[in-house]
Amino acid sequence: MPETIYSLVPHVPDVPVKPPMYKSRHDPVCVLAGSTFGAFGTTQPIGAAVLKKQASGTFGPPVEALRNDPAKFLKKGTKTQTGTGASGDKDSGGDAKSSKKGPAPAFTYPGERKAMVPRRDDCPVTGIVSKANFVTANAVDTILAVPRRVDLEPVNYLEKEDYGKVPKYLQQVKSEITRENAMIDMFVREQMGLEVGDDDDHLEELRERERTELLHALKAKWDTVNKKYQLMAHMVNLDTFGKLRRKEQMETQLKGLEKDIEKLEKTPVLIRP
């Protein structure tokens, strides 16, 4: 064995700790359920969940307990409040004061009793006619009725949930105004021939002389095209594709010229340099 420092240190042996003795939580005397040990001569195992018939378990107490005692026979006045026993003492039914009282009052039903059931040979009463005008009576009662009093408590606006907050309808109005302004701006840009992404800083206004010259030139062009178009107006039967194509081209050209003239007539006219 090689030399080591651990061999020089004395070793104290560990004393084993004895655990507490095991004790079952079940009753050691109790018979196991379903066990057949010691069940000779019976069909029910010991400890089985079988109810045993106890005394007076089916037809009441035993007969001997119900038999009357001959010495305890019923005596006169023992079941009443005013009578006395046969011997006249207190134990036999009452005292001298109770014997002087009159009979007990008859029992009466509280409230009104229901009407009797009609007999078999009873005939119902018919032919009763009322002269009352229920419509008028109802209207009069409604008119003369006192209105119900309603207690209106003063409203404390400081305790409301939306106190100090911007109302929701104002936010809706602001959004509608913003949307309308955007639509107006877009419409103005379309009328001026601008795209949505164009910047107004890079545009300049067309000079009045140039605008007038362009306007006169477009009107002269429109007169020339319209004159040619009017010469074809009498042609009702366009039997060739060439005639039909020329007519459509002239109509398209006239519409374009009219649109350009309408834009130039509106001032100011902005152009991109």
What are the tens digits of pLDDT across the range 213-240? 999 999 999 999 999 888 887 777 777 8
Residue 138 Ramachandran class (φ > 0 left, ψ -120 to 50 alpha, else beta): alpha
More confident residue, 42 or 27: 27
Residue whose structure tokens are 């009322």: 130
Distance from C-alpha of 228 to C-alpha of 246, rounded to nearest angstrom = 10
Residue extents of the structural domains in the chain: 169-196, 206-271
User: What secondary structure letter does DSSP report for 9?
Assistant: S
> For residue 57, what pLDDT is reported?
63
The answer, yes or no, to whether residue 260 has pLDDT greater than 50, is yes
Residue ranges with strand state E in the chain: 204-205, 270-271
Instruction: Please state the separation of Cα 261 from the chain's center in Å.
Output: 64
The pTM assigned to this predicted structure is 0.29
> pLDDT band at 93, cuts 50/70/90?
very low
User: Tens digit of pLDDT for each residue in 150-171?
Assistant: 878 888 888 888 888 888 899 8
Q: Is 205 helix (H, G, I), strand (E, B) or coil?
A: strand
Which residues 6+ apart lie within 8 Å of 218 measured at CB?
Answer: 257, 260, 261, 264
The answer, yes or no, to whether residue 97 has pLDDT greater than 60, is no
